[in-house]
Amino acid sequence: MFKKIIIRIFALVIIIAGLNLIYNFTFYKKDLEEKCEQVVELRKKQPDTDIFYFAESSNFNVREDDSIKQSISEITNFFYPSLKITAINKPATHGGIYRHWLTHIDLTENKPKAVIITLNLRSFDANWIHSKLETPLQESVVLLKPYPKLLNRFLLSLNAFDNKTEQQRERDMIKEWETTQLEFPFPFKYKTVTEWDYHMAQGTYTKPDGSWDAEKITLACHYVKTYAFNIKENNPRVKDFDFMADWCHKNNVNLYFNLLAENLQYADSLVGKELVFLMKQNRDFLVNRYNKNNCKVIDNLEAVPGKEYTDQNWTTEHYSYKGRMAIAKNLANGLRTQFNNYYKAAY
């Protein structure tokens, strides 16, 4: 009896392995192109790539009146004309997605000389972590999980991933704003984001006629909800970037985290020095944590003046050409530690 069970289990394993192999050679690539075209693009372009650049929309967003439309990665490439920097972009992407892209780089054939990964300060906040866009992002990486491909496809068909509803995500976000205590090394009257946001909304700005300036108040409140947080080790984004730093160190791949610029000028003028303090403190946390081994953080937090942000009435990392140029120059200079022999002053 026991022998028959063993034989049946062995036969089942053989059948499943065979089906997995068939799926791998038939429908897997088509499914991958549909769900995660970025990895398909990565694999296709790796033979001609020296440096990969992983980014969300900050890389390619441009102003209508920009005389030069090149992305941050393309401008950086101007300084290294004999190298090929390949950008892999997807709007709203963050470290939890980049980590899956990273592990699909082929290390056995034409291993890249370096990888640059966008480090977006906002991606550590509750608003982004619990974004309604998170479900499609998580769906896009199910087929990339380190399990048999057929099993991943089965999990995808069952929606067996982080598949919360928009309402659930909003509740999680609000709960975090209501319960997480803000930490300052000096006395501050507001204890949570919700409390700070509420008081900011109570007529902080008025028009000449005495009526509330709703547009300015809304923007100020959004700055509070976006940047009022303390990055700590239990933040899920920290775990994602830790993974990527460890993976690159283990596999001897030079890694650059491109910390994006945020509009500190508007944060200061709309909300005040306490919010700017938090933003700079979070920058320091990331720089101190990841500037080690073969990883380097390129600090652009204060590199772009307020007027050079495309979105003047919201918080995004979308810049004019001058803003993209400032970040690209900083990045190009940071790369000189490794690629000085390839460097050529472009501007």
Q: Please report how many Cα atoms fall inside a 13 Å half-sphere around the Cα of residue 257, on the Cβ side.
A: 31
The pLDDT assigned to 5 comes to 60
The pLDDT assigned to 15 comes to 60
The pLDDT assigned to 343 comes to 96
pTM of the predicted model as reported, rounded to 2 decimal places: 0.93
Cα distance between residue 18 and residue 179, in whole Å: 51
Nearest to 182 by CA among 278, 271, 276: 278
Residue 181 per-residue DSSP state: P
Q: Which stretches of 180-272 are DSSP H helices?
A: 193-200, 214-227, 236-250, 264-270
Tracing tokens 């048999």 back to the chain, one arrives at 148
The pLDDT assigned to 151 comes to 86
Burial class (CB in 10 A: 0-12, 13-18, 19+), 118: buried
| CA 204 to centroid of chain Cα atoms | 32
Domains along the chain? Answer: 36-125+181-342 (3.40.50.1110)
And the tokens for 167?
């309402």
Cα distance between residue 303 and residue 310, in whole Å: 15
Q: Which stretches of 130-165 are DSSP H helices?
A: 134-139, 149-157
The pLDDT assigned to 248 comes to 98
Q: At what angle do helices 236-250 and 95-102 cross, to 10 degrees?
A: 20
Q: What is the pLDDT along the chain (347 residues), one digit of tens a residue?
A: 666 566 555 555 566 566 566 767 777 888 889 999 999 999 999 999 999 999 999 999 999 999 999 999 999 999 999 999 999 999 999 999 999 999 999 999 899 999 999 999 999 999 999 999 999 999 999 999 988 888 889 888 888 889 999 999 999 999 999 999 999 999 999 999 999 999 999 999 999 999 999 999 999 999 999 999 999 999 999 999 999 999 999 999 999 999 999 999 999 999 999 999 999 999 999 999 999 999 999 999 999 999 999 999 999 999 999 999 999 999 999 999 999 999 998 66
